[in-house]
Structure 1
Amino acid sequence: MRLHRKDLFASLLIAAVAVPYVGYLLRGEMPPIEDQRGMAGTGLVLGAVAFLVLWRGDAIDRAGKAETASAVLSLGLGVAAYELSDSAMADALLAAFMASMALVWVVKLVDHTGAVHWHRPAEVAR
């Protein structure tokens, strides 16, 4: 149940998205982020880097496949939030994207700590 440097680095990247997002929610802007498009773009870049840092060296097992699928869905939400930033649903898409990015991060950290056993139990010898 030990986290590694890559987990800390990815957590710092997620915090680098979360802090401006909270500031954006409270003030409507957060220098240098001025609108939904800037917030979504920042989330896309830093979130993708955080996922790649967390993903490096992981086994391709059931957990890895589920985590990658959820990251792809989060990426889709991020792209939608970026592209539709001028629409009426921009804030809702941005909120969904930020929540999904946080969820992917939490699931990866839980997998790395070993708190939840995702792997198939070993066959019992008879």
Structure 2
Amino acid sequence: MDKLKARDWIATVLVAAVAAAYIAYLVNGDIPFIKDPRGMSATGLILGAAAFFVVRRGDELDRVGKSESALAVASLALGFVALIFAETAAAEWLLAVFMISIAVVWAVELIDHAGLLPGHHPAGAR
């Protein structure tokens, strides 16, 4: 297993910030700057996108990279759906699915960078 790089740890901190904000939101109902599902969706979109761009920087756009990018686009779409439908009865469920999708994108990227995906060479390990 290869060592994870600084970008992986930075992305981990960003995803942890999303997770901490979401847990605080679930426990308290609102926290500073995040008062409702719309605010939590926006926070997830901003920090999740930042984490993705940090962790993908310098990666090849091979078959695995394209799959990871497609997964990230799906997560982004879920984020916008959660943001758009934040005032509906489904808001909390959409937000939960979006939060899970952020964690999945992050986990797949780290598994890739650790060299655990079959048939793929991690960035710089050729």
Instruction: Judge same fold: TM > 0.5, yes or no.
Output: yes
Larger CA Rg, structure 1 vs 2: 1
1:62-121 deviation digits (Å, cap 9, x = unpaired): 11011000000000000000111000100010000000010000000000000222439x
Cα distance in 2, alignment partners of residues 110 and 69 from structure 1 = 16
Partners in 2 of 1:65 and 1:8 — Cα distance?
22
Aligned to 1:124: none
- Structure 2 length as normaliser, TM-score? 0.92
Would you say the 8 A contact 1:3–1:113 is kept in 2? yes
Matched residue, 1:43: 44
**Contact 1:10–1:53, Cα closer than 8 Å, also in 2:** yes
In the alignment, the residues of structure 1 paired with residue 100 and residue 88 of structure 2 have an alpha-carbon distance, to the nearest angstrom, of 19
Residue 94 of structure 1 aligns to a residue in which SS? helix
* 1:91 equivalent in alignment to 2:115: no
Does 2:71 match 1:70?
A: yes
Structure 1 gaps of 5+ residues are: 121-126
Per the alignment, residue 82 of structure 1 pairs with 83
**Superposition TM-score, scaled by structure 1 size:** 0.92
Match of 1:30 in 2: 31
Cross-structure match for 1:110: 111
Match of 1:123 in 2: none
- Segments of structure 2 that go 5 or more residues without pairing to the other structure are 122-126
Identity of aligned residues (%): 50
Runs of 4+ in structure 1 over 4 Å off: none
Q: What whole-Å deviation, never above 9, does each CA across 1:37-78 have from its counterpart, x for those lacking one? A: 000000000100100011110011111011000000000000
Q: CA RMSD in A?
A: 1.2
Separation in 1 of the partners of 2:92 and 2:6? 33
